[in-house]
Each structure stands twice: as structure tokens, then as C-alpha cells.
Amino acid sequence: MSDDNSKKNWFGDWADEYDETIGKVGKHHDLLDLVVESSHVEGNDHILDIGCGTGILALKFLKKSDDHTLPG
């Protein structure tokens, strides 16, 4: 396995564990909801997710979007 694949696999495993633990904590979701609300993002505003997490926050922004698409 190449070093890049090892890193990707490690992060994938860690991200899954994060989502299954902290990602299920209600207070954590409340905080993320507050971030979305405080951002004042509306309708068709564009949001750049630079990939610094597991995607939970990006999904919350996606729900707020009128477009409901997540470009690859």
C-alpha cells in the first residue's frame, strides 16, 4: 500500500469513528447549527468547503441551500 493510500485509509477510518462518536453528540450538532445560522447564508449563496473535516458541517449548509447540490 502506498503512503498516500495509507493516509487516506487512516483518515477514512478516523472520520467514520468521529461521526459515530462526537458526530452523534447533540451539543456538537447544536454548535454546528449555530455556525450555519450565524453565517447568514441564504438561498443560492455559494459555500467553499476546503475539506477540513468529516463533512457534517457541509451537509448542514447543503440543507440550507436552495440548490441542494454538492459539486464533486
Whether 10 is covered by a domain: the verdict is yes
The string of DSSP letters for 16-28 reads HHHHHTGGG-HHH
Cα–chain-centroid distance for residue 13? 16
- pTM of the full predicted structure? 0.62
- 70 within domain boundaries: no
13 found inside a domain: yes
**pLDDT digits 0-9 by tens, 7-22:** 888 877 877 787 788 7
Q: Is residue 72 situated within a structural domain?
A: no
Read off the C-alpha cell for 31: 454548535
CA distance 23 to 5: 24
Q: Count the domains in the chain.
A: 1
- Decide if 32 is inside a domain: yes
pLDDT at position 43: 78
CA dist 36 → 13, 26, 41 (Å): 26, 15, 7
E strands, 1-72, in order:
none
Q: Is the pLDDT of residue 69 over 60?
A: yes
Is 71 within the bounds of a domain? no
Residue 37's pLDDT is 92
Q: For residue 51, what are the domain limits? A: 3-64
Question: Is residue 21 one of the residues assigned to a domain?
Answer: yes
